[in-house]
Structure 1
Amino acid sequence: MHMSRRPRTAVLAGCAVLLLATSACGDDQPEEVATHQVRLYGTDGNMSNSYPEELGDRANLVDGMKGTTPFTPLSEDFKKRLLSVDPKLDGFLYAAEAYDAVVISALAAEVVGTTEPAAIAKQIIGVTNKGTRCGSPAECLRLARDGADIEYRGIAITRAGFTDAGEPATASYATLHFDGERLNDVKAEFVGAGDESAASTKSPPKVDRSTSGGDGPLVLGGLLPRTGDLALAYPPMAAGTALAIKDLNDAGGVLGKDVVWFDGDDGTNPTVAKATVARHLDEGVQVIIGAGGSGITAAVLEDVVKEGRILFSPSNTAASLTSVDDRGLYFRTAPPDSLQGRALADVILRDGPHKIAIVAREDSYGEGLQDVVRSELERAGFGGERVQLLSYEPGEGAAAPPIDFSDGARQIKEFGADAVLIIGFGESAAVVRALADADVPLAALARR
């Protein structure tokens, strides 16, 4: 899920946000590719500086790999503050989204004057729309305490607020490139997606703070991937949540009391995640920040909402979660893959491939994004027998057997793909190894 966590901003030409079946953007030409060379592409789950480590002594296989991830250009000040929380951070993926998820939850509680989850949930969309614009926890909390309607514009939520479904109306994506076994910051490019008009225009319920119960404290609990296939994305999300808690409490907390945080692991595993949720419910957590992966959220959502608590993810992107039955208690600061699919298809098509294989992990995230990209390719006139879809079972837990993608690699070689998109987390490195073992002519091997 992450990327070059210190990318420099490079703005794409306006036409770069459109799907291009050929290189039709002025003088922009497809990159030269030797005959039969196969380019690798990735997504937010594997576009991170931690990903090559999954390949061990074959880390150079990722060189030349490129892909997209939801990513907002971050100020140097915000990155420095994240590093003050965790000096070992090697990237910032979903740190901004985690920060904003915590802050928005706190602002909603301050606005409504209570820490009762159902009441907080009814204000979450509202604090991002149709009010006095504010950009820091201290400023927004001051306005809320004065009874003003607020419109939070933070780190990830910048151009527009939430939709009626409780997710961002707009998003920023980065195109990232592996070079020398690391993401090359110089090549990072940013494009916008979504439509500001999709932001909610509904007004939240009116609040009478004179009769609101000033209970507290606000208790948040983490459900983030400290372990498991998505563990490479944990450090920046953990730093983002910790920094948000610090900023809120430095500004006086919520309802006059410090915000309380209980850490928790989702394990990138439904069993681990369910146990963490159960513990948080016993601890009186009102808002759970997570889960990391969309599939884990799908597995625990019912457990959370049946107890009337809020689940607020900084990193879920599965498009299916937009319409999930959540009783108004599920939110996310990460944009849905319905937005990312177009950006990702564009990145691939600009290189002028002839055949594309799309490999996805078998869960709501992997198969959902695979379907979106396939649809976007078809919209650009690239479909039918030119696209091959494959999947793999990621396994559950540390004791799960290694992924065997040897048959899939053989199919890709016989198909004659010159572009392979891999949608997965750290475990998807097994797909890269299998392709190399099957003598698929990866672009990285041709560079040697």
Structure 2
Amino acid sequence: MKKPLVIAIIAAVVVVAVVLILVFTIGGGKAKVAVPKVGALLPLTGSLAEFGAGFVLAGDLAVEQFGEAGWPIKLEYADTETSAIPGVEAARSLVDLEKVVALIGAASSGVSIPIAESVSIPSQIPQISNASTAAMITYLPADEGKDFLFRTAPTDALQGVVLGDLAKREGYTSAAVFWVNNPYGQGLMEQFKMSFEHRGGKIVASVPHDEKPAPTYVSELKRLMDSKPDVMLALGYPGQA
């Protein structure tokens, strides 16, 4: 997941570069422009915390390499806690207090979408997620005709189709799905279900679970296994594994 973050940073820098070019063009090339700040909304804690430190390393490397290439930028990191409310608060702080010109993140679709709806779109700040895959990001009503929300990771509309095709080609005729109850989990589950059933497969059980990791999932797993599926698909985060 580190490579998509670097791509997202590149995309954010392109946005910044366009702004700088316009400033220098309007100012006849004499304007002094401060190093632009880009906000990075990362899951430093929460159910995706396993990826947080790697994202920071990727961000630091990108900043270093852009600086060496003559395009200095500053990344302002903020923790989303892999949760919508803290994520929105972090984004609002980056936009209102740090005055960032673009946002990178969040990782989770369930965090990226509320940030876009509450902060980046109303503030007209470009937001580029490095990991959010929910299909609805492509068609988010709040962003229709505005285009402030982007991503570098493939949509679940693609991943779900591939998963359904793979399951059927492996010879499975029935499947049970255990999914995290947020836009990512629900969207990918629905895309897998549609793809698998289109190929003649049958979903015999579909059980959601909360974003917050639980001490045990024994009862949910029992419900899934009682349906006697050929295969079980788990759609969640490392903290829930």
Provide the TM-score with structure 2 as the length reference. Answer: 0.88
Cα shift at 1:283: 0.8
More helix per residue: 2
Alignment correspondent of 2:79: 265
Pair 1:252 & 2:70 matched: yes
Supply the distance in 1 between the matched residues of 2:16 and 2:113 (Cα, whole angstroms).
25
Cα shift at 1:211: 1.9
1:412 to 212, 219, 224: 224
Aligned pairs for 1:308-323 (under 5 A) are 308-323=124-139
Pair 1:234 & 2:48 matched: no
Cα shift at 1:259: 0.7
Pair 1:103 & 2:10 matched: yes
Supply the distance in 2 between the matched residues of 1:317 and 1:266 (Cα, whole angstroms).
17
Aligned pairs for 1:318-333 (under 5 A) are 318-324=134-140, 325-326=142-143, 327-333=146-152
For residue 320 of structure 1, give the secondary structure of its aligned residue in structure 2: helix
Supply the distance in 2 between the matched residues of 1:237 and 1:208 (Cα, whole angstroms).
31
Supply the distance in 1 between the matched residues of 2:174 and 2:37 (Cα, whole angstroms).
51
Alignment correspondent of 1:361: 180
Alignment correspondent of 1:216: 34
Alignment correspondent of 1:423: 235
Cα shift at 1:208: 9.4
1:300 to 115, 124, 134: 115
- 1:224-270, CA deviations, whole angstroms, 9 ceiling, x for partnerless residues? 111110111223322222211111111111xxxx2111111111012
Counterpart contact for 1:394–1:403, Cα < 8 Å: no
Alignment correspondent of 2:43: 225
Supply the distance in 2 between the matched residues of 1:329 and 1:248 (Cα, whole angstroms).
23
Gaps of 5+ in 1: 1-93, 115-206, 430-448
Supply the distance in 2 between the matched residues of 1:289 and 1:212 (Cα, whole angstroms).
28
Aligned pairs for 1:78-93 (under 5 A) are none
Counterpart of 1:427, as a letter, is G
1:379 to 182, 192, 198: 198
Supply the distance in 2 between the matched residues of 1:239 and 1:295 (Cα, whole angstroms).
24
Pair 1:370 & 2:171 matched: no
Supply the distance in 1 between the matched residues of 2:101 and 2:193 (Cα, whole angstroms).
39
Counterpart of 2:225, as a letter, is K
Alignment correspondent of 2:105: 290
Supply the distance in 2 between the matched residues of 1:423 and 1:101 (Cα, whole angstroms).
24
Aligned pairs for 1:143-222 (under 5 A) are 210-211=25-26, 215-222=33-40
Supply the distance in 2 between the matched residues of 1:229 and 1:104 (Cα, whole angstroms).
26
Please identify the structure whose Cα radius of gyration is greater: 1
Counterpart contact for 1:394–1:427, Cα < 8 Å: no
Supply the distance in 1 between the matched residues of 2:121 and 2:47 (Cα, whole angstroms).
26
Counterpart contact for 2:172–2:201, Cα < 8 Å: no
Pair 1:341 & 2:160 matched: yes
Stretch of structure 1 that moved more, 285-294 or 100-109: 100-109
Counterpart contact for 1:221–1:264, Cα < 8 Å: yes
- 1:10-52, CA deviations, whole angstroms, 9 ceiling, x for partnerless residues? xxxxxxxxxxxxxxxxxxxxxxxxxxxxxxxxxxxxxxxxxxx
Supply the distance in 2 between the matched residues of 1:418 and 1:427 (Cα, whole angstroms).
26
Give the alignment's Cα RMSD to 1 decimal. 2.1
Supply the distance in 2 between the matched residues of 1:391 and 1:315 (Cα, whole angstroms).
21
For residue 26 of structure 2, give the secondary structure of its aligned residue in structure 1: coil
Provide the TM-score with structure 1 as the length reference. Answer: 0.49
**RCO greater where, 1 or 2, for CA within 8 Å and sep 6 or more?**
1
For residue 25 of structure 2, give the secondary structure of its aligned residue in structure 1: coil
Alignment correspondent of 2:20: 113
Supply the distance in 2 between the matched residues of 1:112 and 1:271 (Cα, whole angstroms).
30
For residue 264 of structure 1, give the secondary structure of its aligned residue in structure 2: strand
